């Protein structure tokens, strides 16, 4: 799994609560990404990071924020969870010289009630 862990792996929360998902890599790769996967929508990019403290928005960033204070950790925060954010969240990493290949973590299944 390319040295990527995600935590928690499963979470149930209530509407309006903040939620933070963590992606941890042991590969020291520069680029990290957060995706959500929903039936009929495939994988959609939420936010990505191209270095420590360097982040940018993806196509579905509304309602999400990210932080990267260390190379190995990329945090995704749902400021106030909504039922529409029920999804499976995947973290991915890539590195220059490795081409555009992205390596994915095992995913976090989030249910917002």
43-62 footprint of another protein as x/- string (CB under 8 A): xxx--x-x-----x-x----
- Pick the stretch among 14-22, 65-73, 74-82, 87-95 that binds another protein (CB under 8 A): 87-95
Using DSSP's 3-state secondary structure scheme, residue 80 falls into coil
- Pick the stretch among 19-27, 40-48, 66-74, 75-83 that binds another protein (CB under 8 A): 40-48
Could you tell me the smallest distance in angstroms from the CB atom of residue 46 to another protein? 11
- Judged by CB, which is closer to another protein: 31, or 74? 31
Q: How many CB atoms lie within 10 A of CB 34?
A: 28
> Which letter, b or e, does each residue of 83-99 get, where b requires 16 or more Cβ atoms within 10 Å of its Cβ?
eebbbebbbbbbeeeee
Under rule CB under 8 A, residue 102 binds another protein: yes
Tokens of residue 45, six digits: 């990019």
- Using CA atoms, how far apart are residues 41 and 5, in angstroms rounded to an integer? 24
- Using CA atoms, how far apart are residues 51 and 73, in angstroms rounded to an integer? 11
By CB under 8 A, name the binding residues for another protein. 1, 31, 33, 40-45, 48, 50, 56, 58, 90, 92, 94, 99-107
């Amino acid at each position: 799994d390319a040295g990527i862990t995600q935590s928690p792996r499963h979470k149930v929360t209530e509407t309006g609560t903040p939620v933070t998902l963590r992606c941890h890599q042991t590969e020291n790769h520069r680029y990290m990404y957060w995706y959500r996967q929903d039936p009929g929508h495939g994988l959609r990019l939420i936010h990505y990071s191209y270095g420590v403290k360097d982040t940018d928005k993806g196509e579905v960033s509304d309602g999400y924020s990210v932080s990267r204070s260390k190379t190995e950790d990329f945090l995704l925060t749902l400021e106030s969870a909504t039922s529409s954010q029920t999804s499976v969240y995947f973290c991915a990493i890539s590195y220059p010289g490795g081409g555009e290949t992205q390596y994915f973590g095992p995913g976090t299944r989030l249910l917002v009630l």
